[in-house]
Chain A
Amino acid sequence: QSHLQESGPGLVKPSETLSLTCQVFGDSISTETHYWGWIRQSPGRGLEYIGNIHHSGGPFYSRSFASRVTLSVDRSKNQFSLKLNSVTAADTAVYYCVRRMVSARGVIVWFFDLWGRGTLVTVSS
Chain B
Amino acid sequence: SYVLTQPPSVSVVPGQTASIACAGDSPGRKIFHWYQQKAGQAPRGVIYSDTDRPSGIPDRFSASTSGNTATLTITRVEAGDEADYFCQVWDASGDVVFGGGTKLAVL
Q: Which residues of A contact B (CB under 8 A)?
A: 46-49, 60, 62-64, 96, 101, 104-105, 107, 109-113, 115-118
Contacts and interface: CB of A to CB of B under 8 A. Distances in A.
Q: Which 4 A-B pairs have the closest CB atoms?
A: A49-B96, A110-B90, A47-B98, A111-B48
Given A46-B100, A112-B88, 9 more contacts: A47-B101, A49-B97, A63-B1, A63-B94, A105-B49, A110-B33, A112-B33, A113-B48, A116-B42
Interface residues of B, number: 25
B64 to A, nearest CB: 17
B97 to A, nearest CB: 8
Interface of B: 1, 31, 33, 35, 41-45, 48-49, 52, 54, 86, 88-90, 93-98, 100-101
Nearest to B91: A110
A38 B48 CA distance: 18
Nearest to A60: B94
Contacts of A118: 42
A42 to B, nearest CB: 12
Contacts of B88: 47, 110-112
Contacts of B42: 96, 115-118
8 contacts: A46-B98, A47-B98, A49-B95, A63-B94, A109-B90, A113-B45, A113-B48, A117-B42
B52 A62 contact: no
Given A116-B42, A117-B42, A62 B49 contact: no
Nearest to A103: B49
By secondary structure, the A interface counts as strand
B98 A115 contact: no
Contacts of B96: 49, 62, 110
A63 B93 contact: yes
A110 B93 CA distance: 13
Contacts of B44: 115
B48 A107 contact: no
Contacts of B101: 46-47
A101 B52 CA distance: 13
A107 B98 contact: no
